[in-house]
Amino acid sequence: MQSLKVSLDSRSYPIHIGSGLLRCAELIVPHLLRRNTLIVTNTTVAPLYLQQLTHTLENAGVTCLSCAIPDGEQYKNWVTLNQIFNAMLSTRCERTTTLIALGGGVIGDMGGFAAACYQRGMPFIQVPTTLLAQVDSSVGGKTAINHPLGKNMIGAFHQPRLVVADTETLNTLPDRELRGGLAEVIKYGLIRDIPFLEWLEQNLERLLARDADALTEAIYRSCATKAEIVAADERETGERALLNLGHTFGHAIETGVGYGNWLHGEAVAAGTMMAAELSATLGWIAARDVARIEALFLRAGLPVTGPRLGINKYIELMRHDKKVEDGRLRLVLLRSVGNAVVSDVATEDQIAGAIAGRLADG
């Protein structure tokens, strides 16, 4: 097991990464406020891991209620959130009950948001079971649901009390989801960690083959970067925005094609290529840098072009992004490979050109 800490004063919390951690009650129980929990999961993960986690906790004298919602980004909305609230109220969850989010990014985001809002805030723990959630979304306290007009538009900052990433759960992860998670892993290399990018270029096939040591290393290094950035800028007033490389383009793709059609990681990969293209347009990176990034995404089996929504639709959707300020699109771009910056210097024509250069053959 490897461990890290997200340093946020009195709200600091550990991240544990390793194999078989769902069986380790001693990792989880000390972080419960009281000895009762509500496990929020989905109908895919529940048959795989709910019983195991419940067994671990109940053997340690902890009461477990559970609530399984449908699986998929298309359910990350008010309607499903209300199903969680209905379950909480009908089972009389108190504000001292601990919510445990057992699942991927959607479960973590929505379970975390439910915990943020229920009785104005209850404690919660992240138990991510996808690569994407283990390397990114379970860490840092961003919670949200989607709105038809924009992804993650309604949410809260609500830090978990603990993150437990059991790498055994990746054994049942569909290949497509594993590849989606790699998009966020590659992101950490691109924004500020060239040695990690090089390590990924050397070890990508080990990751795709689910080599346990390689996966643990990738998760650990990703979480280390994320923990450091979150500790420095919890509320995203500055450098935390860099973690959104490819995300403004990517969110437009996810919203534009309809939630649940593209995986978040797939949209981030295509979006990152658009950001790279735009960075090249601005003369910040070279064509060979763009090709290098593209090669890595292609090896990971990720898309490097976006769907043909129409350029105007892209721009319109991007204008709903949370990073828009005074009507200006602020984008995360690459000053160089391994050095991301937030910038609003690109003109709308340049942005449109970068998108146009990265659309799938229609």
Q: How far is the CB of 79 from a copy of itself (least distance, A)?
A: 9
Tokens 């008010």 belong to 78
Counting contacts by CB under 8 A, is residue 157 touching a copy of itself? Answer: yes
Counting contacts by CB under 8 A, is residue 9 touching a copy of itself? Answer: no
Contacts with a copy of itself, 313-352, as mask; x by CB under 8 A: ------xx-x-xxxx-------------------------
Counting contacts by CB under 8 A, is residue 295 touching a copy of itself? Answer: no
Measured distance CA(315)–CA(354) in Å, rounded:
11
Q: How far is the CB of 83 from a copy of itself (least distance, A)?
A: 12
Counting contacts by CB under 8 A, is residue 11 touching a copy of itself? Answer: no
Q: Which of 85, 233, 301, 353 binds a copy of itself (CB under 8 A)?
A: 85
Q: Which residues between 29 and 48 bind a copy of itself (CB under 8 A)? A: 34
Q: How far is the CB of 142 from a copy of itself (least distance, A)?
A: 7
Counting contacts by CB under 8 A, is residue 142 touching a copy of itself? Answer: yes
Output the six-digit token pair for 88.
Answer: 């909480």
The smaller minimum CB distance to a copy of itself, of residues 13 and 118, is found at 118
Specify whether 152 is catalytic: no
Tokens 């943020």 belong to 116
Which residue stretch of 17-25, 146-154, 204-212, 287-295 sits at the interface with a copy of itself (rule: CB under 8 A)?
A: 146-154
Let me know the angle formed at the C-alpha of 190 by 292 and 279, rounded to the nearest 5 degrees: 70
Q: How far is the CB of 141 from a copy of itself (least distance, A)?
A: 10
Specify whether 142 is catalytic: yes
Q: Which residues pair with 68 in a beta bridge?
A: 41
Order of strands, sheet of 98-103, starting from the edge strand that comes earlier in the sequence: 2-6, 13-18, 163-166, 124-128, 98-103, 36-42, 63-69
Specify whether 236 is catalytic: yes
Specify whether 168 is catalytic: no
Which residue stretch of 119-127, 184-192, 212-220, 280-288 sits at the interface with a copy of itself (rule: CB under 8 A)?
A: 119-127
Which residue stretch of 49-57, 118-126, 204-212, 265-273 sits at the interface with a copy of itself (rule: CB under 8 A)?
A: 118-126
- Compute CA distances 155 → 147, 195, 211, 214, whole Å: 10, 34, 35, 33
Number of residues that bind a copy of itself (CB under 8 A): 35
Q: Which of 78, 195, 238, 335 binds a copy of itself (CB under 8 A)?
A: 78
Q: How many CA atoms lie within 13 A of 334 on its CB side?
A: 30
Counting other chains too, the contacts that 138-141 makes at CB distance below 8 Å and 24 or more residues apart are: 138/101, 138/105, 138/108, 138/163, 138/165, 139/6, 139/15, 139/163, 139/223, 139/226, 139/227, 139/230, 140/6, 140/226, 140/227, 140/230, 140/234, 140/240, 141/112, 141/230, 141/234
The smaller minimum CB distance to a copy of itself, of residues 122 and 296, is found at 122
Output the six-digit token pair for 4.
Answer: 């890290």
Secondary structure (DSSP) of 151-209 = EEEEEEE---S-EEEEGGGGGGS-HHHHHHHHHHHHHHHHHH-HHHHHHHHHHHHHHHT
Sign of CA dihedral 265, 269, 272, 278: negative
Counting contacts by CB under 8 A, is residue 150 touching a copy of itself? Answer: yes
Query: Which helix (H) or strand (E) is 232 found in, with range?
Result: helix 212-232
Contacts with a copy of itself, 229-258, as mask; x by CB under 8 A: ------x-----------------------
Residues that bind a copy of itself (CB under 8 A): 34, 78, 82, 85-86, 89-90, 92, 94-96, 116-121, 142, 144, 147, 149-150, 153-157, 235, 319-320, 322, 324-327
Indicate which residues carry an active-site annotation.
120, 142, 184, 226, 236, 240, 244, 247, 251, 264
